[in-house]
Amino acid sequence: MKLTCGSEIIELKPSKIVAVARNYKAHAEEMGAVLPSEPKIFLKPPSALLPDKGQVILPKASARVDYEVELAVIVGSMAKNVTSESVSKLLLGYAVLVDITARDVQSAAKKQGMPWTVAKGYDTFAPLGPTIVPAQNLDPSNLDIWLKLNGEIKQQGNTNLMVFSVTELVSFISRIMTLEPMDVIATGTPSGVGPLEDGDVVEAGIEGIGTLTFTAVREH
């Protein structure tokens, strides 16, 4: 998908979306989960990406689909085994991503000890936008982050509440898998996650980046 990055228009075609679970204490608590001692990651397929002002499809297979607003980090150059100190020059920029989650499917997977691929992987489950703010223009460590559902504030936090910082996350992930240009890292959600219904309008914002908007539509 195409979106702006500063004065340029870029084609965002990541090889992978790496998402981080339980990276805000209050969200870990609301999910009844313990805080991890190292980052807990999973993958979302790039086919889940949805541009700003798109429609998130609530699949028939799920009765409970949740929103999770997250700071997205877009990788700028190949990163393998990078130290925290060298992360910043490898990043392209930052955007807003909503990690859409089929919560009932995820709960069943957790019980069975199965992966979250289905719960996190449906088409349209990764709205991203409204732009990419170049990395040199933004310090990601202290940004207000929020989500409004039909005009009502549901999630409100600050990236300074992350358990693992952007640099720690990128360094950690790069020691497992090579990060390639345009790869996306979703850095976890603050508390206040909740369900989407047919016709809902969501505005998800991060200070210094802007507001991503989408509507939810039930699959028929």
Report the interface residues with Mg ion, using CB under 5 A: 68, 99, 189
Read off the DSSP letter of residue 39: -
Q: How far is CA 82 from the centre of its chain?
A: 22
Segments of the chain assigned E as strands: 2-5, 8-11, 17-21, 40-44, 49-50, 54-58, 65-67, 69-75, 91-98, 101-102, 126-134, 144-149, 152-158, 184-186, 194-195, 201-206, 210-218
Nearest-approach distance from CB 89 to Mg ion, in angstroms: 27
Shortest Å distance, C-beta 29 to Mg ion: 15
Residue 77 CB, nearest approach to Mg ion (Å): 25
Task: Compare residues 124 and 189 and give the one whose CB is closer to Mg ion.
Answer: 189
Nearer Cβ to Mg ion (68/183): 68
Of 41 and 82, the one with the shorter C-beta distance to Mg ion is 41
- Nearest residue to Mg ion, by Cβ distance, number only: 99
Q: C-beta of 48: minimal distance to Mg ion in Å?
A: 12
Strands (E), 33-143: 40-44, 49-50, 54-58, 65-67, 69-75, 91-98, 101-102, 126-134
Is the CB of 17 or the CB of 58 nearer to Mg ion? Answer: 17
